[in-house]
Structure 1
């Protein structure tokens, strides 16, 4: 793994976190507890800060970045960022699933209890409202989030990634 200080700022990684051997975490990155950063994932806090809560998983090939002097990236608790997703200069609140290959651009706000479908593109400044599922290019609300999706997808995946990480320590 590459964990590197940039301009005097170094990553802070919480308790019980897993970082894969070829993951990259650089600069002003703060990560909570029970997080995991998987193979080929990049969290690059060189141009602005990146803050992550507890029980966040950044799956294989995902990239988290920000925009210089404009848009930091803040991620809440119990968030899953799918394989090859791009999360850039935005705010992601608690209990969110960002699907595989999704793109979340600058100044987006993803409120609590939201699923962003695989391959969705949230254009600059989009607000994904709480309790919703978003899909498409550009992403639009396609339905309300029901309790089955909240428990069966958002919570299940976040909890499973804590378990999977224990296998890789």
Structure 2
């Protein structure tokens, strides 16, 4: 038996609020999960999804999330001291419980679950950071490479499986986000 749908006043909502007069700029078609927190100088691009329990805190500097990217459950995105902003390009997949801090993650890259990417690091387009890895400050993960470990190091060139995950992951999450958004908007 299906549980009854809760009243609208009981449904959780995302916490979106300004800091120092800067209100997050979120594309109308982006999916922001109830209980996500987005603060300050943050931009979320069209078709992107910010999942349950995610925190995007643009206080010391800015956070940019491009088009069609997804940041999965309980991840934290923060910035470094100026001028260290956080840039996440288009069609990026960031797995559950990731820590993204003051770094640049270029379009079409993949950050695995519980990975950490620190200040000044760059993850190039088409690069893959394995689950649980720690990309140290200032490191560059090159396109077509798989990095793993704590600290992360180049393991090898990407295989077919990783390339498929990079290609398919963002579109799968975009479809899932559309389904969640539809269900949430049709709740009584």
The answer on 1:20 being equivalent to 2:33 is: yes
Correspondences of 1:31-50 after superposition (within 5 Å)? 31-50=44-63
Q: 2: distance between equivalents of 1:117 and 1:128?
A: 11
Residue 176 (structure 2) aligned to one of 144, 149, 164: 164
Candidates 18, 30, 33, aligned match of 2:43: 30
TM-score normalised by the chain length of structure 2 = 0.87
What is the TM-score of this pair, normalised by structure 1? Answer: 0.96
Shift of 1:68: 2.5
Which consecutive residues of structure 1, in runs of 5 or more, have no partner in the other structure?
Answer: none
Aligned residue pairs, count: 168
SS at 2:96 equivalent:
coil
Match of 2:11 in 1: none
Match of 1:6 in 2: 19
Question: Please, what is the CA RMSD of the aligned residues?
Answer: 1.0
Q: Distance in 2 between matches of 1:121 and 1:13?
A: 29
Counterparts of 1:77 and 1:146, CA distance in 2: 22
Partner of 2:155: 142
Deviating runs (4+, > 3 A) in structure 1? none
The residue aligned with 1:153 is 165
Q: More strand by proportion, 1 or 2?
A: 1
Provide the residue aligned with 2:115 in structure 1.
Answer: 102
